[in-house]
């Protein structure tokens, strides 16, 4: 989870917009949508809050640290806003995203610098909300759950796009209620976009040069979107069928999706890994813990063995598939034995890359009121051990690429002259010497060296399929 800044494409306009994005890829996608919806109002990019008339913090609430970062940033914006107001250039500060959803009016009480709080389902109302702030109609607050209305109102096929890869939200929300997690409260109930809408968006992206789409959802493999026109009798489609359908769109070479839940794996999706070459052989399937006792306390609805069985089935279907995951250490009541079960599971799976976190107590979630919260020092020590093992696995996975020829989607020039960089099917950063004309294309690279975070190689001259 990194902080990213969306820098809008230059456009004519008199007002400047700065969006700072925290957290997951869905927030990155939402920031782009906010930018699109504000462009017709004359907002053009600013690369810093100093130059902006409107600052939006698109926030993450998943762990305490993520949420606290927002208040630090608001603290930094306060003197800037005062200074700008004094010089006759008022600045509007909006808090969007999951902190907005969870915090509501509390945010404006705690940080009066905030003019506007807007939850994830109401970005299409931003122009109206901003207008109302400007008109001095007082506090504007909109954090209702109306996800359907959101996607109807955001004209996604018209989205501005830079580069060759894009996120597309296909599903939002979560009904799983893992006991540690705020998402069911901040993103609301599970909901899927209709297939027609997704297809229109992906077609438009392909026409703008996008070669790789990542389908996003908090529970993406629970996708069950309304069948497209002409297929109404089919009711809803699952993710496997959607992926196969999107693979038919000309120009789209690679498809990924994230984040999945083990409970929602179905045979059709596994089969799609087996026979759809455009679906990349890299799969993020969080497990959180290897201890059945902890999995139960987390309300994950599956055992360690069931998770391992899914991984085995995936490997049968697609032998070159690589797996990534998410882990939480220090969940309330986690013993050394539970933690060892997690380490065992990691050894059995052999991950390509993972995210691992110390449990963060989120007020209002069921786990927050459990006794037996794990001592901070114990959790830190376990996290260090887990990350050492995951780091070794990641490095071993990268090193196993040396000598292989991998298709790379080149996305940008590299660090030195004549170098270009892109991604392998496994999302590894790959650098090699080559012409800029390859940017936006897939070409084959023979890997000559590997480190924990990147691969280096040379072009073979082959231009081959996506994976």
List interacting residues with ligand SF4 (CB under 6 A).
174, 176-178, 181, 183-184, 218-219, 261
| Six token digits for residue 250 | 């000309």
The DSSP element (H or E) to which 38 belongs, if any, is helix 25-38
Among 59, 108, 288, 398, binds ligand 5AD (CB under 6 A): 288
Smallest distance from the beta carbon of 297 to ligand SF4, in angstroms? 13
Number of H helices, E strands in the chain: 14, 22
Nearer to ligand 5AD, 188 or 422 (CB): 188
Please tell me whether 60 is known to bind a ligand. yes
Which span sits near ligand 5AD by CB under 6 A: 52-60, 68-76, 228-236, 352-360?
A: 352-360
360 binds, among ligand 5AD, ligand SF4, none (CB under 5 to 8 A by kind): ligand 5AD
What CA–CA distance (Å, rounded) separates 206 from 245?
A: 14
| Six token digits for residue 256 | 């990924």
- Give long-range contacts, CB 8 A cutoff, 24+ apart: 190-193: 190/218, 190/219, 190/222, 191/147, 191/148, 192/217, 192/222, 192/223, 192/224, 192/225, 192/226, 192/236, 193/151, 193/169, 193/225
Q: Which of helix, strand or coil describes residue 370?
A: coil
Smallest distance from the beta carbon of 356 to ligand 5AD, in angstroms? 8
Nearer to ligand 5AD, 202 or 383 (CB): 383
Q: Which of helix, strand or coil describes residue 385?
A: helix
- On whether the CB atoms of residues 401 and 455 are closer than 8 A, the answer is yes
Nearer to ligand SF4, 265 or 445 (CB): 265
189 preceded by a cis bond (ω within 30 of 0): no
Which span sits near ligand 5AD by CB under 6 A: 307-315, 359-367, 403-411, 456-464?
A: 359-367
Smallest distance from the beta carbon of 184 to ligand SF4, in angstroms? 5
Nearer to ligand 5AD, 326 or 444 (CB): 326
Among 357, 397, 410, 426, binds ligand 5AD (CB under 6 A): 357
Smallest distance from the beta carbon of 178 to ligand 5AD, in angstroms? 7
255 binds, among ligand 5AD, ligand SF4, none (CB under 5 to 8 A by kind): none
Smallest distance from the beta carbon of 222 to ligand 5AD, in angstroms? 15
Nearer to ligand 5AD, 131 or 189 (CB): 189
Please tell me whether 354 is known to bind a ligand. no
How many beta carbons lie within 10 A of that of residue 239, not counting itself?
A: 26
How many beta carbons lie within 10 A of that of residue 384, not counting itself?
A: 12
| 362 touches ligand 5AD (CB under 6 A) | yes
The DSSP element (H or E) to which 389 belongs, if any, is helix 376-399
Among 77, 111, 130, 181, binds ligand 5AD (CB under 6 A): 181
Closest CA to 256 of 208, 214, 218: 214
What CA–CA distance (Å, rounded) separates 392 from 412?
A: 28
Q: How many residues bind ligand 5AD (CB under 6 A)?
A: 12
Smallest distance from the beta carbon of 330 to ligand 5AD, in angstroms? 8
- Using CB under 6 A as the criterion, which residues of the chain lie in contact with ligand 5AD when the complex forms? 62-63, 180-181, 286, 288, 326, 328, 357, 359-360, 362
**Which residues line the annotated binding site for [4Fe-4S] cluster?**
24, 60, 98, 174, 178, 181
């Amino acid at each position: 989870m990194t902080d990213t800044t969306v820098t809008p494409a230059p456009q004519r306009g008199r007002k400047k917009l700065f969006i700072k994005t925290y957290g997951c890829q869905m927030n990155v996608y939402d920031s782009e949508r906010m930018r699109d919806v504000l462009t017709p109002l004359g907002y053009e990019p600013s690369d810093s809050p100093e130059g902006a008339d409107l600052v939006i913090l698109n926030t993450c609430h998943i762990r305490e640290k993520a949420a606290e970062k927002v208040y630090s940033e608001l603290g930094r914006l306060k003197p800037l806003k005062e200074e700008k107001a004094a010089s006759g250039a008022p600045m509007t500060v909006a808090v969007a995203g999951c902190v907005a959803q969870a915090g509501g009016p509390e945010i404006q009480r705690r940080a009066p610098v905030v003019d506007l709080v807007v939850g994830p389902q109401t970005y299409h109302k931003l122009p109206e909300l901003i207008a109302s702030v400007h008109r001095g109609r007082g506090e504007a607050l909109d954090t209702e759950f109306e996800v359907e209305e959101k996607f109807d109102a955001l004209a996604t096929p018209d989205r501005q796009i830079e580069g060759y890869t894009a996120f597309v939200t296909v599903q939002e929300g979560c009904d799983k209620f893992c006991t540690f997690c705020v998402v069911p409260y901040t993103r609301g109930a599970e909901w899927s976009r209709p297939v027609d809408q997704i297809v229109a968006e992906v077609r438009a992206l392909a026409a703008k040069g996008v070669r790789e789409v990542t389908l996003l959802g908090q529970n993406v493999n629970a996708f069950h979107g309304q069948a497209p026109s002409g297929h109404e009798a089919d009711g809803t489609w699952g993710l496997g069928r959607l992926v196969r359908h999107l693979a038919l769109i000309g120009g789209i070479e690679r498809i990924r999706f994230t984040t999945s839940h083990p409970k929602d794996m179905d045979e059709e999706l596994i089969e799609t890994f087996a026979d759809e070459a455009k679906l990349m052989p890299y799969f993020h399937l969080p497990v959180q813990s290897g201890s059945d006792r902890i999995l139960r306390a987390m309300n994950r609805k599956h055992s360690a063995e069931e998770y391992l069985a899914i991984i085995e089935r995936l490997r049968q279907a697609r032998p070159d598939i690589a797996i990534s995951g998410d882990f939480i250490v220090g969940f309330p009541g986690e013993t050394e034995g539970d933690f060892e079960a997690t380490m065992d599971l990691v050894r059995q799976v052999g991950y390509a890359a993972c995210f691992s976190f110390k449990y963060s107590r989120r007020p209002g979630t069921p786990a927050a009121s459990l006794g037996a919260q794990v001592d901070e020092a114990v959790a830190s020590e376990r996290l260090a051990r887990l990350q050492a093992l995951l780091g070794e696995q990641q490095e071993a996975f990268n090193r196993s690429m040396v000598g292989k020829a991998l298709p790379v989607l080149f996305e940008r020039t590299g660090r030195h002259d004549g170098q270009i960089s892109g991604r392998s099917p496994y999302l590894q950063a790959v650098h090699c010497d080559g012409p800029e004309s390859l940017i936006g294309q897939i070409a084959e690279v023979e890997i000559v060296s590997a480190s924990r975070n990147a691969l280096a190689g040379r072009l073979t001259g082959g231009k081959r399929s996506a994976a």
